[in-house]
Amino acid sequence: MAQKKLPENNCSYQKHLEAEVEKRTKDLIKSEKKFRAFTELAPVAIIIFQDNKWVYANPAAEQMTGYNLDELSSMGFLDFIHPEYRKLLSSKRDTKKHTDLTGNRYELKIQTKNNSELWVDLQTQVIEYEEKDAIFVTAMNITDQKETETEKERLETQLRQAHKMESIGTLAGGIAHDFNNILSSVIGYTELTLTDLPHNSMAKNNLEGVLKAGRRAKDLVSQILTFSRQSEQVHVPVQIHLIVKEALKLLRSSLPTTIDMRLNIHNAGHVLADPTQIHQVIINLCTNAFHAMQDETGVLDITLSPIEINTSNPVKYPDLPPGRHVKLQVSDSGHGMSKPVIHRIFDPYFTTKEKGKGTGLGLAVVHGIVKSHKGSITVNSEIGKGSVFSVYLPVVDQAVLKKEPRERPLLKGKENILLVDDEQEIVEIEKQMLEYLGYYVTACTGSEKALETFQNCSKAFDMVITDMTMPNMTGDKLAKEIIKIQPDIPVILCTGFNEQVDKEKAENLGIKGFIMKPLSIKDISFAIRDVLDE
């Protein structure tokens, strides 16, 4: 009886196995569908690496990398990783034991099929795929996030630089104020001594050299004040070749003898410009050229020549109207620049120099100055072949030029002047200048002492000349108190720190004139007569 039931049991067992296989197959198909649905609709890239090749890539991965699965299958694990980051992954990857990659996460760049670069958040995990070990890789595109972070860092850096430059500007203005006081003594004593020396004597020639150097120092202080935004721009017709020659003479002494400086400077006509700012452009361009060659011998070429620009080639001369221009060209034999660097070379705070060796403001300032003079600046450069900067500025129409006025003679007087400054040395030199011009001077070193002196005998004075920056009571406040006592008294304010003075407000107080430091005999002479003769 038992032997007859065996076939029936075998049949039942066979059906059970078939049913179990069918159920598991359906489960596998269902699981496979879920996997496909999950991976193919996933917004992140999913790729599976197995047996030293990529065996699966979802649509997001193909879209991100630009490669389809057939192309990926012939690529190695690191082939689409950016070269800068391959070493990072290759040190972790073990194609035999995949365990080193378990749970690792990286922020790195990949290189797509069209050679663009993307930032990705890449994670790796060891899984079993089709009954064998594999590396499961997910990658999320975080390029926008990275660019936002980079932009935020850039803006924060700019803000820090702006605060730093503001502080430096304030410091520069303060230093310029003190330096102006020193220059007032140098220029003033030199001028007074020159008046007592015989014509064509060696001593007089030497002191004229001192005076010229002092005036150049005065111009340099003016540059500092321009930098610190405490000096207004003044555009006047200038012979630009004279400014270029003067700037290059100053620059030559600061360059090493290994730099071959070749000059080709022509009289290119007059330009409506701020001489100090043109000087600044030349110094900045030549200094940058030197920095590009400082580790070796090199050639620095500076040329200045007239050029006629017409409308036939607007691409070569962008933003320039037709007509006569001057062309200042500074070229070097340095290391040159790549195209990406050239595109950013005039951006504020962009620099290719090492940290601490450049602010990235020099060329941005040059670009701003050139534009403010209605000119244009271009750059051509190649790696290893040096750089050429070309500055174009419009020439002033001859009809606009006026004949140089004859030098005015010194204007003297005999009025009584109250002179006020907190610096003893400045008071002494200004007193001598005024007495040389014929005036009677009562000098005070301090605003409070000056106010007390004026209160005691206000009718004795025909004018007050006061410094602006003084402790306890500034010059404009002293002027206000003096004018309360005698409303018609002329007051002249001396300052080298122009932005502290609101001229309109000062004039409303009754202040009649202003003299910028450092003072010269002519400055004082003309300022006094202009005020007293009104």
pLDDT of residue 327: 92
Q: Are residues 321 and 453 in the same domain?
A: no
Q: In this structure, is residue 182 part of a structural domain?
A: no
3-state DSSP assignment of residue 337: coil
Whether the CB-CB separation of 417 and 434 falls below 8 Å is answered with yes
Joined tokens for residue 504? 């309109």
DSSP letter for 410, please. P
Looking at residue 441, its pLDDT comes to 94
Residues 390 and 473 in one domain: no
Residues in the chain: 534
Let me know whether 297 and 377 are in one domain. Answer: yes
Give the range of the structural domain holding residue 470, as residue numbers without chain letter. Answer: 416-532
Among 375, 404, 433, identify where a domain stops. 404
Question: What CATH number is attached to the domain comprising 135?
Answer: 3.30.450.20
341 phi/psi in degrees, rounded to 5: -70, -40
**Token reading at 94:** 């073990």
DSSP 8-state symbol, 262: E
Co-location of 28 and 64 in the same domain: no
User: Which of 455, 451, 447, 448 shows the shortest CA–CA distance to 494?
Assistant: 447
Return the pLDDT at 420: 94
Helix (H, G, I), strand (E, B) or coil at 305: strand
Q: What is the CATH number of the domain that holds 438?
A: 3.40.50.2300
Q: Does residue 439 belong to any structural domain of this protein? A: yes
Estimate the share of the chain in helix, then strand, then coil, as percent rounded to the nearest 5: 45, 20, 30
25 and 55 part of one domain: no
Q: pTM for this one?
A: 0.51
Residues 399 and 423 in one domain: no
Q: Give the end of a domain, one of 101, 119, 141.
A: 141
- Can you tell me which residue has the tokens 């997001």? 60
Shared-domain flag, residues 472 and 376? no
Per-residue pLDDT, 461 = 94
Looking at the structure, do residues 337 and 261 belong to the same domain, yes or no?
Answer: yes
Quick one: pLDDT at residue 247? 83
381 falls within a domain: yes
Do 310 and 393 fall into the same domain? Answer: yes
pLDDT along the chain (534 residues), means of 10: 52 71 69 70 87 88 90 86 81 50 77 90 86 88 88 79 67 72 84 85 85 77 60 74 84 79 88 84 86 77 88 62 89 83 71 49 78 87 87 79 62 91 89 92 92 91 91 89 92 71 67 82 87 79
In a domain, 251, yes or no: yes
Q: Which CA distances in Å does 390 have to 149, 281, 307?
A: 36, 11, 12
Cis preceding-peptide flag for 43 (omega within 30 of 0): no
Q: How far apart are CA 189 and CA 212, in angstroms?
A: 13
Question: Closest Cα to residue 436, out of 408, 464, 417, 459?
Answer: 417
Q: Would you state the structure tokens that stand for residue 209, as one six-digit string? A: 């050299």
- pLDDT value for 478: 92
Q: Are residues 78 and 86 in contact, defined by beta-carbon separation less than 8 angstroms?
A: yes
Tell me the DSSP string of 55-84: EEE-HHHHHHHS--HHHHTTS-TTTTB-HH
Residue 286 domain-assigned (yes or no): yes
User: Is residue 196 a part of any domain in this protein?
Assistant: no
Cα diameter, the chain: 154
Tokens representing residue 385 in the block: 């072949």
Residues 20 and 77 in one domain: no
- Say if 285 falls within a structural domain: yes
Clarify whether residues 287 and 429 are in a common domain.
no
Other residues' Cβ atoms within 10 Å of the Cβ of residue 228: 21
Q: Does 247 share its domain with 394?
A: yes
Counting the structural domains of the chain, the total is 4
Is the residue at 200 inside a domain? no
Structure tokens belonging to residue 171: 């410091």
Q: Of 82, 110, 141, at which residue does a domain stop?
A: 141
